[in-house]
Amino acid sequence: MHHSRLCTIVIDCRAANLAEAAMFWSHALGKSIVTLDQDGDGRYAELATEDDEPIILLQRVDHDSRVHLDIETDNLEAEVERLEKLGATRVAHVRDRWWVMQAPSGHRFCVIRPQREKFGPHLNRWE
């Protein structure tokens, strides 16, 4: 058995200045900025959310701007295999930390390890 849930809404920003994009989305969504440089490489900014809301992450990218979802799981391989049975395909394994996947609809999304200390409450259990 493993668990998964919607974890993060990722706003992919094709922008030279991620801080400007973060300021826009902060004001547009009424969420304060937690950090403009989450990993120290200038690629990720995070907006404040409540514990029962998805994380809102901005990511500086080279491809067209879009939004994608992250699904967090306590068993990365089991969740990826479950999604493959539903028709998703593996696109890329990144830093040994997550899988970029593609849904049958063509949408990209990521399957990642748990991001918050408390994994629940909106948790799916898969046998």
In a domain, 127, yes or no: no
Is 68 inside any structural domain? yes
User: Whole-model pTM above 0.75?
Assistant: yes
Task: Look up residue 45 and give its amino acid.
Answer: A
**What's the total number of domains in the chain?**
1
pLDDT in tens, the chain (127 residues): 998 999 999 999 999 899 999 999 999 999 999 999 988 888 999 999 988 889 999 999 999 999 999 999 999 999 999 999 999 999 999 988 899 999 998 999 999 998 887 766 678 889 8
Place of tokens 């699904």: 71
Cβ(113)–Cβ(2) under 8 Å?
A: no
Residue 58, domain member (yes or no): yes
Q: How far is CA 84 from CA 15, 41, 89, 99, in A?
A: 32, 32, 6, 12
Task: Tell me how far CA of residue 21 lies from CA of 4, 13, 57, 70, 77, in angstroms.
Answer: 29, 7, 11, 20, 33
Look up the CATH number of the domain holding residue 82.
Answer: 3.10.180.10
Assess if residue 8 is contained within a domain. yes
